[in-house]
C-alpha cells in the first residue's frame, strides 16, 4: 500500500500546487482573464457571428460549421445570413471557409492562418478573450504588432479600430534573458469603443467561437433540463417500487 499511497500523495500535492499557482497568477493580474461568456445569450452569439465574419473570416475559416447550421442555431434567416454574414459567395448549406488563397496567406503572414473551429476546445474561452485584448504595438515584429498572451504571434490586431492602439508599459527584467518585462498595457490612441464596449465585443466573439467549437452544446444544455427531470421522476418511481416490494418483509 506504500507505493499507491505515495503516488496519491504526490498527485494531491501537485494539484494543490497548481491551484495555489493559479490563485497567485489571478491575484497578480495574470495574462488570462475570465471571459464570462453565456451560450444561452442568443443576442451575444449573433453579435459575435457578425463581428467574426467582418473581422476574422477573411483569414480564418470555420470548416466544421455550415452557414445553414449557424442560421438554425442562432435564430437567423437564410436571407440574413447570406446578405450579412456570407462574404465568399458560398451556398447556404456549405461550410464557412475563407476566400484567402493559402499561398498568399503564407507569403503575407509567414504561415497559413489556422482554422478556428476547434480553438475554444483546445485553448478555452478565457484564452481567446484574453488574447484578443492583449495586442500591442511592437515595431520589431514584421506586422508591427505583438501579443502578451501569445508572444510573437503572426496575426495583426484586426480589432485595433475598435479597441484603439495599446502601448506596453515595462517594469523589471526577465532574470533568465535580461529582456524587459511588460507590466501592463495602456491605450495610447483610443478606438471607436470604450473599454467596456470593447470587452463586450470580444466576449461576443469568444462566445461565438465557443459555440462554433461545439454547436450541439446549445441543444445539449436545453435537453439536459428535461433529462434531469426525467431522472428525478424515474427515481421517485423506483422508490415507490422498492417500497411496494419491501412492505411485507418486516
For position 250, what pLDDT does the model report? Answer: 59
Q: Centre a 10 Å sphere on the Cβ of residue 33 and count the other Cβ atoms it contains.
A: 17
For position 30, what pLDDT does the model report? Answer: 43
d(CA 128, CA 32): 9
The structure's pTM equals: 0.77
Name the DSSP letter for residue 116.
-
Question: Beta strands 145-147 and 164-173: pairing type?
Answer: unpaired
d(CA 81, CA 155): 26
For position 242, what pLDDT does the model report? Answer: 84
Question: Beta strands 135-137 and 145-147: pairing type?
Answer: antiparallel
For position 79, what pLDDT does the model report? Answer: 96
Q: Along the chain (250 residues), what's the average pLDDT of each consecutive run of 10 residues? A: 41 39 37 91 96 94 96 95 94 92 68 90 96 95 92 92 95 80 93 97 98 86 81 88 78
Phi/psi at 140 (5° precision): -80, -15
For position 218, what pLDDT does the model report? Answer: 75
Q: Provide CB contacts within 8 A for 80, sequence distance 6+.
A: 71
For position 104, what pLDDT does the model report? Answer: 67
Structural domains of the chain ordered from first start:
31-239 (1.10.760.10)
Nearest to 69 by CA among 49, 51, 39: 49
Amino acid at each position: 500500500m506504500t507505493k499507491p499511497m505515495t503516488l496519491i500523495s504526490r498527485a494531491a500535492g501537485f494539484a494543490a500546487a497548481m491551484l495555489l499557482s493559479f490563485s497567485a497568477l489571478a491575484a497578480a493580474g495574470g495574462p488570462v482573464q475570465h471571459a464570462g461568456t453565456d451560450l444561452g445569450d442568443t443576442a451575444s452569439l449573433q453579435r459575435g457571428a457578425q463581428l467574426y465574419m467582418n473581422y476574422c473570416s477573411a483569414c480564418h475559416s470555420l470548416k466544421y460549421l455550415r452557414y445553414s447550421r449557424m442560421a438554425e442555431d442562432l435564430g437567423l434567416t437564410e436571407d440574413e445570413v447570406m446578405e450579412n454574414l456570407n462574404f465568399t459567395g458560398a451556398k447556404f448549406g456549405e461550410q464557412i471557409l475563407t476566400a484567402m488563397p493559402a499561398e498568399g496567406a503564407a507569403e503575407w503572414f509567414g504561415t497559413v492562418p489556422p482554422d478556428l473551429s476547434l480553438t475554444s476546445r483546445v485553448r478555452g474561452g478565457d484564452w481567446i478573450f484574453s488574447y484578443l485584448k492583449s495586442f500591442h504595438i511592437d515595431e520589431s515584429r514584421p506586422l508591427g504588432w505583438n501579443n502578451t498572451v501569445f508572444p510573437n504571434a503572426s496575426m495583426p490586431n484586426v480589432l485595433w479600430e475598435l479597441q484603439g492602439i495599446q502601448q506596453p508599459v515595462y517594469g523589471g527584467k526577465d532574470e533568465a534573458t535580461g529582456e524587459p518585462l511588460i507590466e501592463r498595457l495602456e491605450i495610447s490612441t483610443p478606438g471607436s469603443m470604450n473599454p467596456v464596449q470593447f470587452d463586450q465585443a470580444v466576449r461576443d466573439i469568444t462566445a461565438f467561437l465557443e459555440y462554433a467549437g461545439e454547436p450541439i452544446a446549445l441543444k445539449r444544455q436545453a435537453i439536459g433540463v428535461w433529462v434531469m427531470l426525467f431522472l428525478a421522476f424515474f427515481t421517485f418511481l423506483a422508490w415507490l417500487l422498492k417500497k411496494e416490494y419491501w412492505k411485507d418483509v418486516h
